Amino acid sequence: MATAAAKPWPEVLRKLGLNRPVDLVLHFPLRFEDESTVQPLASLGLGIWSSADDKQGSSVQCQVEVIDSQVVFKPRRMLRVRVKDVSGEGQLRFIYFNASMQAAFTKGAHYRVIGVPRYSRLGGVEFIHPRLKKGWLSDEELKGQPLRAVYPSTSGLTQDRLSHWIHKAIEEHSPSEWLPQDRLNRLRLPSLTDAIKELHRQPQPQESLFWDRVRLDEVVAQQIALRRARSSRHRVSAPALHDEMRLSERLLQALPFQLTDAQHRAWLQLRADLNRPVAMHRLVQGDVGSGKTVIAALAVATAIGSGYQAAVMAPTEILAAQLYLKFEQWFEGLGVEIVFLKGGLSERERRERLAGLANGTVALAVGTHALIQESVQFARLGVSVVDEQHRFGVAQRIRLREGGVHILGMSATPIPRSLAMTYLADLDVSVIDERPPGREPIRTRLISQSRREELVEPLCRLRQEGSQAYWVCPVIEGQQDNEKAVAALEETEQWLRPLLGDELGVVHGRLKAAEKQSVMQAFARGEFTVLLATTVIEVGVDVPSARVMVVDHAERFGLAQLHQLRGRVGRGSGQSSCILLYQEPLSESAKLRLRALYETDDGFELARRDLALRGPGELLGLKQSGEPELRFTDLQRDERLVQKGVDLGALIADAFDDSEQLLKLGFEPQAINNLLSRWHRLATDLLTSV
Ligand code: ADP
Ligand code: MG
């Protein structure tokens, strides 16, 4: 037993998010300082002042002799020490110093100075607060000097103290190996202890096997945690839905189209899940326009046809309204009672609608995600459909699962396979990778703002062609429309109004929900030609005769958002186009986004590029949900390793509850538990919240 356990954990470490010895073990160096070589002062000049990021410069060691030291007051009080070596001169500056430090810099004193050199116009080469060692070392002695790790730290914690704690932790709490030797050999990876020691000892390139070993640890822990969440969900019972009333079949027959093969596959997977007495949690993901809504309707029909109720939720009220209209149209002839729980209902209306759900006379509720939060009571809820469910984090997903209901998530953000495989491993996924037939590809054009006049004529012609257009202006910051966005939109309105007259309708976030909706509905009925809007036209709006999408200031939108917007057109027959109006000059990343969009309309390909540009946190909204991301693993760079980690994680998760089985596979149950707790932000937090 370590006696150190009695000592309280240093508070300063908590500031760095280091709460346990194992956190220290996994706190890897930022960089290394080389104390085995000495550089002449004069050699430091070149390159230092030309480097743009002098903070990031690498650290060097010099052996110097003090010329003199004095306290100066320019630009503020500091200690300035002039030093020299055989090659030339330089200076050291200290803003924080005391009398004993001052006294130590006597003329002729020898020091080793270790730090990042800078160039100052006045003093030449200088070091600010370098590390100092008294005396010089001979060439022999220098050779024996180890590389010194520099760790991410915080104020009030010196590198020496931090390093001391880290090394103590490595010695006393070195993680136990959980991978059997034969597997390690097959994976051609070093042992965990070796990997950790090496990473603390000297710089390792990103592609190093030592990093790979740590990444494998991380991915496997994440996989076990998510897969355990999935299997614990499989133990939650939910009604087996067999659709005795054959409502889903009747819905299919009433549809004006046939399911595509991809839709059919998703429907069969979904139906098999619903038939079983365990809670489903399936994510249907498919590109915009791939036809996810009808899959949701089939799930709803199955619930209602089995004597249960269904809830359908969307992230915004406009989307919820769209779904409501669609469902009303599809279920009208089938005698299903639907309510729309929208904002702005009178108290009485709302009470009545809720009562219908509570006593079971109403079979289907459509609303925003607030439906789950507001604890709306259902008599016999069987299925919950959550549109745009990728915006939910794991914690929310888990909360959704309470209550023994089948959950169908829908995501219009095509999720790259690597991402689905890792972050969404607690879900079953169906992919709709095919578009309904008869769609012509959307033509995408990039046009500079300076040429926007050219759009007027084609817009005015749309009416005769029976077509409609969206004109979308960006919301500049945050989610809500702000002053600037509305001002930009009003300016565009003033420009378009004289040209289009009544053929122009406007919606923005400042309008009341009911007003927004009535404009949107008038547009959907074809009562006017051009809908000018801020991004309230989010994902999901479906107006088949809209064939033109103009995105104003396209450079301000993200890739996924632009792809979603483009997906608002091309939903019916005929040629559709998407016009991206951009303001020059374009930033590099804006160029990349616009080019990607021009080059492909494959949502999966775009999502891959988006993942490369922004990382998984942005794509899945992990940042907002406060969910842990993989720290060391990059899904794209480390793709092959991730695959190995996923396979291993699956193997272990399947055997997790059966220690004999685990042992047979060569895994120590205790070592696996340690693995999970080592990555507790990823693993145990998730598991304990299940
Ligand atoms: P999304 O996947 O973006 O939610 P929707 O479900 O809104 O897509 O479908 C887009 C459009 O395609 C809708 O008008 C829908 O009625 C239509 N649609 C869906 N499936 C088919 C199909 N198999 N054949 C023809 N049209 C379809
Ligand atoms: Mg949709």
Assess whether pLDDT exceeds 90 at residue 273.
yes
- How sure is the predictor about 278, in pLDDT bands with cuts at 50, 70 and 90? very high
Tell me the average pLDDT across 304-326.
88
| Closest Cα to atom 27 of ligand 1 | 436
What is d(CA 391, CA 411) in angstroms, rounded to the nearest whole number? 9
The residue to mutate among 260, 290, 293, having the most atoms of ligand 1 within 8 angstroms of its beta carbon, is 293
Task: Quote the ligand 1 centre to 543 CA distance (angstroms).
Answer: 11
| Closest Cα to atom 15 of ligand 1 | 291
Ligand in nearest proximity to the CA of 327: 1
Please write the tens of the pLDDT for every residue from 470-512: 999 876 444 455 666 667 788 889 999 998 999 999 988 778 8
Ligand in nearest proximity to the CA of 568: 1
Would you state the pLDDT for residue 34?
82
Residue for token digits 């994976």? 187
Would you state the pLDDT for residue 168?
94
- The minimum-distance atom of ligand 1 relative to the CA of 287 is 2
- The minimum-distance atom of ligand 1 relative to the CA of 326 is 16
**Helix or strand (DSSP H, E) at 365:** strand 364-368
3-state DSSP call for residue 633? Answer: coil
What is d(CA 546, CA 31) in angstroms, rounded to the nearest whole number? 55
More confident residue, 572 or 191: 191
What is d(CA 649, CA 226) in angstroms, rounded to the nearest whole number? 9
* Two tokens, residue 494: 């003033």
Would you state the pLDDT for residue 1?
44
Assess whether pLDDT exceeds 90 at residue 180.
yes
DSSP symbols for 158-170 = -HHHHHHHHHHHH
Q: What is the DSSP letter of 361?
A: S
Chain centroid to CA 228: how far? 22
- The minimum-distance atom of ligand 1 relative to the CA of 572 is 14
Would you state the pLDDT for residue 481?
54
- The minimum-distance atom of ligand 1 relative to the CA of 288 is 3
Comparing 39-53, 95-109, 334-348, 661-675, which segment has the lowest mean pLDDT?
A: 39-53
Would you state the pLDDT for residue 679?
82
- The minimum-distance atom of ligand 1 relative to the CA of 542 is 7
Mean pLDDT value across the chain: 85
What is d(CA 473, CA 373) in angstroms, rounded to the nearest whole number? 31
Assess whether pLDDT exceeds 50 at residue 50.
no
Instruction: Kindly state the greatest CA–CA separation across the chain.
Output: 98
| Closest Cα to atom 16 of ligand 1 | 291
Most confident of 237-251, 360-374, 567-581: 237-251
Domains and CATH numbers, the chain: 1-30+152-167 (no CATH), 34-150 (2.40.50.140), 175-235+657-690 (no CATH), 247-432 (3.40.50.300), 443-600 (3.40.50.300)
Cβ proximity of 68 and 104 under 8 Å: no
Assess whether pLDDT exceeds 70 at residue 24.
yes
**Are β-strands 468-472 and 546-551 bridged in parallel, bridged antiparallel, or unpaired?**
parallel
Q: Look at phi and psi of residue 540 and say left if phi exceeds 0, alpha if psi is from -120 to 50, else beta.
A: left
Task: Quote the ligand 1 centre to 563 CA distance (angstroms).
Answer: 17
| Closest Cα to atom 23 of ligand 1 | 259
Ligand 1 site residues, Cβ closer than 6 angstroms: 257-260, 263, 286, 288-294, 412, 436, 540, 542, 544, 571
3-state DSSP call for residue 432? Answer: strand
Residue for token digits 């915004």? 316
Which strand ranges, in their side-by-side order, compose the sheet holding 428-432? 338-341, 364-368, 309-314, 381-386, 406-411, 281-286, 428-432
Cβ proximity of 284 and 294 under 8 Å: no
Assess whether pLDDT exceeds 90 at residue 183.
yes
The pTM of this model reads 0.72
Task: Quote the ligand 1 centre to 436 CA distance (angstroms).
Answer: 7
Q: Which residues contact 71 (CB under 8 A, 6 or more apart)?
A: 77, 78, 79, 80, 102
Burial degree of 201 (CB within 10 A; 0-12, 13-18, 19+) = middle
Assess whether pLDDT exceeds 80 at residue 614.
no
Tell me the average pLDDT across 339-356.
88
* Two tokens, residue 268: 């069969």
- How sure is the predictor about 322, in pLDDT bands with cuts at 50, 70 and 90? confident
What is d(CA 104, CA 323) in angstroms, rounded to the nearest whole number? 77
Neighbouring C-alpha atoms within 13 Å toward the C-beta of 261: 2
- The minimum-distance atom of ligand 1 relative to the CA of 571 is 11
Would you state the pLDDT for residue 510?
78
Q: Which residues contact 245 (CB under 8 A, 6 or more apart)?
A: 304, 305, 306, 307
The residue to mutate among 287, 294, 322, 387, having the most atoms of ligand 1 within 8 angstroms of its beta carbon, is 294
Identity at 177, one-letter amino acid code: E
- How sure is the predictor about 330, in pLDDT bands with cuts at 50, 70 and 90? very high
**Are β-strands 147-150 and 31-34 bridged in parallel, bridged antiparallel, or unpaired?**
antiparallel
Tell me the average pLDDT across 569-595.
89
Would you state the pLDDT for residue 336?
94
Please write the tens of the pLDDT for every residue from 368-378: 877 766 668 89
What is d(CA 128, CA 130) in angstroms, rounded to the nearest whole number? 6
